[in-house]
Chains A and B, each alone.
Chain A
């Protein structure tokens, strides 16, 4: 399968005290939804901020779209960002968000903005100020403002976190609509902790730890790379050396095994299963974490 990329990152690094983001090479596939997963403090927000142009103080190069442009006005026009911070001034009303978005961007459709506000049931009463909206409604308002523009790349920093289960479902629907409208030309990158909620809208997965990408790939490929293995206690000792990750109980063991190592489990009484995206994320994060778990 041939894929083009929508963002190309080369030798990007950003140092903070006690933390360094370091991405030697990364390409975000074009026409798909990419999920960025990682522990708190892994560098997800920093990476998204660099890509969105919110931070410009970094080393290295980030190129966008087909002609590999740098982040300039034309690129910004095609790029949408949704994040957890105060993107709109706290005393703005929805009406002002509409006015200013219309002024700031060439392709902002007021009609579509109003439709989206209604569709997502955002309280947009005349005097309702952004600061008085709940966290969930703030995200919804940002989504409406971004989706009302003609963009080709959406960068979203934990859009699902403050949303209720129903709205998360709606978010997935909005992402699928966006990809479908683009017919291969529109792409989405979002960070998330809610892997299970977002599984059915994730095409490509990036896992980050300590400022580095530790695993990436198309979801269907990763689900063939890692196999969930369940077995009996008697085989646990032997399986421990083969499995990528393992948890044990008095009844038996379970864990992920790299498909290429599966033959080393020959002769054991085991059952195999395709792992969920969440299981893959947890196993990869556990292999790289500094958190301590009960043995």
Chain B
């Protein structure tokens, strides 16, 4: 796991993002336990509360479940939810593009045209 101190992305977010990717890619499997909160804090040289927050975020997203006294384990990933997660990624990227287009003063039509052209190039 790689954590950047000055990337502007909070550390807990970076941990959650990387663990989420590992879960969605199937590297962390259903039923498998995440490292203990304090163990991960020790390994990553960060505070306990930061790892806690990352785990709580994954729990809120339904990716893991907290088992009292035992830690957090990976939930079964149904395909619907996987789709949902990927869809969210696409939406995020598109929102970023929309924002950049606004800054550049592009109209909605120009933006759609650009997307169509790029889609064409991809094929």
Indicate with 1 or 0, residue by residue over A192-212, a CB within 8 angstroms of chain B CB atoms: 000000011111100000000
Across the interface, name the chain B residue whose C-beta is closest to A200. Answer: B46
The verdict on B47 contacting chain A, using a C-beta distance below 8 Å, is yes
| Chain A interface category by residue count | 20 to 34
Across the interface, name the chain B residue whose C-beta is closest to A172. Answer: B45
Q: In whole angstroms, what is the CA distance A184 to B89 when docked?
A: 35
The verdict on B24 contacting chain A, using a C-beta distance below 8 Å, is no
Residues in chain B within 8 A of chain A (CB atoms): 8, 10, 12, 36, 38-39, 41-42, 45-50, 52-53, 56
CB of B106 to closest CB in A, whole Å: 21
Q: Give the top 6 A-B pairs by smallest Cβ distance, nearest first.
A: A203-B49, A180-B38, A176-B42, A180-B42, A220-B53, A203-B48
Interfacial chain A residues near B56, Cβ < 8 Å: 1
Could you count the A-B residue pairs with CB atoms below 8 Å apart for me: how many are there? Answer: 52
The verdict on A183 contacting chain B, using a C-beta distance below 8 Å, is yes
Determine which of B10, B41, B42, B49 lies in contact with A218 in the assembled complex, contact meaning CB atoms within 8 Å: B49
CB of A111 to closest CB in B, whole Å: 22
Enumerate A92-125 residues with CB–CB distance to B below 8 Å. none
Determine which of A1, A219, A273, A274 lies in contact with B47 in the assembled complex, contact meaning CB atoms within 8 Å: A219
Indicate with 1 or 0, residue by residue over A41-62, a CB within 8 angstroms of chain B CB atoms: 0000000000000000000000
Interfacial chain A residues near B48, Cβ < 8 Å: 31-33, 176, 179, 203
Q: In whole angstroms, what is the CA distance A134 to B68 when docked?
A: 46
Query: Known contacts A1-B52, A201-B47: does B42 contact A274 (CB below 8 Å)?
Result: no
Q: In whole angstroms, what is the CA distance A220 to B46 when docked?
A: 12
Across the interface, name the chain A residue whose C-beta is closest to B10. Answer: A274
CB of A284 to closest CB in B, whole Å: 18
Q: In whole angstroms, what is the CA distance A183 to B41 when docked?
A: 12
Q: In whole angstroms, what is the CA distance A135 to B52 when docked?
A: 35
Determine which of A176, A177, A183 lies in contact with B36 in the assembled complex, contact meaning CB atoms within 8 Å: A183
